[in-house]
Amino acid sequence: MKKVVTIKVLLIVALAVVSTSCKKSSSSKNSSRATGWNINDREGGFQYNTDFKEQETSPGLVFVEGGTFTKGRVQDDVMHDWNNSPNQQHVMSFYMDETEVTNAMYLEYLDYLKRYYPPSEENFKAIYNGALPDTLVWRNRLGYNEVMTENYLRHPAYGEYPVVGVSWIQAVEFSNWRTDRVNELNLSKAGYREINHTDIDPDNAFNTNRYTIDPSSMDTGEPVDSRRNRNITVDAEGNESGIYASRETGVLAPKYRLPTEVEWEYAALGLSEIRSYNLYRGRKKYPWDGQYTRSGKRKIRGDQMANFKQGKGDYGGIAGWSDDGADITNAVKSYAPNDFGLYDMAGNVAEWVADVYRPIIDDEFNDFNYYRGNVYTKNAINEDGSVKVITSDEIVYDTLSNGKIIARNLPGEIMQVPVDENETFQRTNFDKSNEINFRDGDKRSSRKFESFGDEDEDSGKSSAMYNSPKHNISRDSLGNIVREYDKSNNRTSLINDEVRVYKGGSWKDREYWLDPAQRRYFPQDMATDYIGFRCAMSRVGSKSKGGNKTKN
C-alpha cells in the first residue's frame, strides 16, 4: 500500500515539475528579453510570431543551399568572348523552380488577366495582349513550323513543355503575378482573408506590396475564422488589431523573381555531388557529373542527359536508342535532375536571368550575391501621406523598341518612383536610383575602345564601349506607331542597359552551350523560340534547412 502511495506522490511531483517547467518555458518564450513585457498578449501590446520555425517551401520550388564556388571558365572559349573568366563568388541560400515555367503555368496567368482585365474593354486591352507570348517566333523563312505557331502555347499536348516566346519583361511580370497569387492563398489558409474570384474588382485585385503597406484599403473582408488567427487583440475601446497579416506573422512569402546569373550558374552546376568535406573534387562541365552528354550508368548507359542539337541537321539523333527524345523542346522532367533536384538546367530551353549583361564580372568590388541591374524605387506618397494606388484610369503603358505595348503597372498596385536624396544622402553603399552602370567600363568610367583623340559628339562618332543601335519608335499625329531603324554605321556594339543575360543551352544549341558557365545576352523586350525561364525566391533566416548542421 505504501509503495502505491509513494508512486502516486512521485507521479504528482513529476507532473508538477513538468508543468512548472512548461509554464516557465512558455512564459519565457512569450515575454520580451528586452523589456520583460508579454508578447502576443490578448489585451494588446507587441504582436510577433514566436512559433515560427523556418520558411516554408513555396509551390514549385526546391531549396538550394548557398555557398562559395568558382563562377565562369576559360577552358572552352571558342567564341573568343572572354566574358566568363573564373572568379570566386558566394551565394546565399535560395529557392528555385524545380522545372522551367510551362505552357500550362503561363496559361493560368493569362486566364487570370483575362478575367480581371478583360481585353474586350479598351482600357485593359493592352494588359492582356502585352502578356501574350509571341507565337510567331516559331516561323522560319525556309522551314514549315506552323504546327508550333498554332498549337505550342495552348494545345494540351504541349502543356508540360516550357513556355517560349516570352520576353524578359514578360517573365518578370509573371513572377510578380505569381507572388500575389501564392500569398493570397497563404492568407486564406491562415484565416486572414477570404478568397473571392466571383465579385471581381480590378482596382482591388490582391497585391502583396499594397497588403503589407495598407491592407485596410483592399477589399479583404473579415478573417475566415478568427479562432485560427490567435494574434487578434481588442483594446479597452473595443478596437481590434491583428486582423491583417503583417511581415511579423511569417505568413507572407518573399517574392518570386528571376534568379540572378550567379544563382542560376551555382544551381545548375550542382557541385554538392563532387564535394569532399570542405572542398570540391575538380571542376564540372555539366549539371551532371562527368565529361560526356551520355549517361555512363549501367542501367541507362548511352542515354542522352539533355535535349540539345547534336550536329548539323541533327536535333535529336537517329530515332531509337541514340535519340534524345525530342526534336524541339521536350516535356519538363524528361531527363534526370541534377544534385539539387533541378530539371533541365542544360538543354530544352535556355533561360532568362535577372542581370543586365556586361562582358565583365566586377568581383573586385563585390563577391557576395553578385548582381548587375539594381534600380531602387520606393512607394509614391499622396499629399495626405497615404500611398498612391494605381486605378483603372491611371494605367501607364510603355511602347517597347519592337513596337509592342505593355502595361507598366496594373490597377491596385502602389505606384513606384525612383529613390531620391532622402534615401541616398551621405550613404556609402549606393548614391542614386539606377545603379546599372556602376563600374561597368562605360562612358561614365571613361573606358573607351580608343584611348586617344577626343570624342566628336557632333559627328555622331563615338568610341564608347556600349554604343548600341538606337531604333526609334514614335507616333504620328493620328496616333499610329512609326517604326524607324537606326541605320548609322558608327555603332560599336549591341550592348546597352536593355540587354539581359540568358544561360544554358537549348534544343537548338550545340553541346558547347550546355556548360552552365557560358553566358549570352538578348534584348529584354524581345523573345525567341529557344529562351524560357524559371523563377527563384530568396531564403530568409538560416542558411541551412532545419538550422545549423553539425560540423565534422
Task: Please report which confidence band the pLDDT of residue 89 belongs to, taking 50, 70 and 90 as the band edges.
Answer: very high
Residue 286 carries which side chain, given as an amino acid letter? Y
- Going by the DSSP 8-state scheme, the letter that residue 414 receives in this structure is B
Give the Cβ contact number of residue 86 at 10 Å: 15
Q: Which fold does the domain 57-221+238-373+501-538 belong to in CATH?
A: paralog of FGE (formylglycine-generating enzyme) (3.90.1580)
What is the mean predicted confidence (pLDDT) over 466-474? Answer: 81
**Average pLDDT for 79-99:** 91
Query: Quick one: pLDDT band at residue 527, thresholds 50, 70, 90?
Result: very high
Q: What does pLDDT average to over the chain?
A: 84
The pLDDT value given to residue 38: 86
- Cβ-contact 281, 370 below 8 angstroms: no
What is residue 17's predicted lDDT score, i.e. its pLDDT?
56
- Among 159, 149, 146, 107, residue whose Cα is nearest residue 128: 107
Mean predicted confidence (pLDDT) in 346-373: 94
Q: In the prediction, which pLDDT does 227 show?
A: 47
> What is the number of H-type helices and E-type strands within the chain?
8, 19
pLDDT tens per residue across span 165-212: 999 999 999 999 999 999 999 998 888 887 777 778 888 889 999 999
With a cut of 90, say whether residue 142 has pLDDT above it: yes
pLDDT band, very low/low/confident/very high, at 281 (cuts 50, 70, 90): low
Yes or no: say if 161 and 332 are a contact pair by the CB < 8 Å rule. Answer: yes
pLDDT tens readout for residues 2-44: 555 566 666 665 666 555 555 444 455 678 888 888 887 777 6
| pLDDT for position 431 | 92
Instruction: Average the pLDDT over 104-110 and give the result.
Output: 98
pTM of the model: 0.88
Give the least confident one: 32-41, 452-461, 475-484.
Answer: 452-461
Confidence (pLDDT) at 208: 94
Please tell me the predicted confidence (pLDDT) of residue 396.
Answer: 87
Give 117 or 240, the one with higher predicted confidence.
117
Where is pLDDT greater, at 343 or 50? 343
**pLDDT tens figures, 111-140:** 999 999 999 998 899 999 999 999 999 999
Task: Find the mean pLDDT for residues 406-410.
Answer: 88
More confident residue, 477 or 126: 126
45-59, 229-243, 368-382, 393-407: the lowest-pLDDT one: 229-243
* Residue 164 pLDDT > 60: yes
Residue whose C-alpha cell reads 516570352 in the numeric block: 166
The angle formed by the CA atoms of residues 502, 80 and 283, to the nearest 5 degrees, is 70
What was the pLDDT predicted at 151? 97
pLDDT tens-digit series, residues 421-442: 999 999 999 999 999 989 886 5
Nearest to 500 by CA among 534, 529, 525: 525
Q: What is the mean pLDDT of residues 48-53?
A: 85
SS3 label, residue 140: strand
* Residue 115 Cα to chain centre, angstroms: 24
More reliable by pLDDT, 307 or 460: 307
367 has a pLDDT exceeding 70: yes
- pLDDT at residue 293 tops 80: no
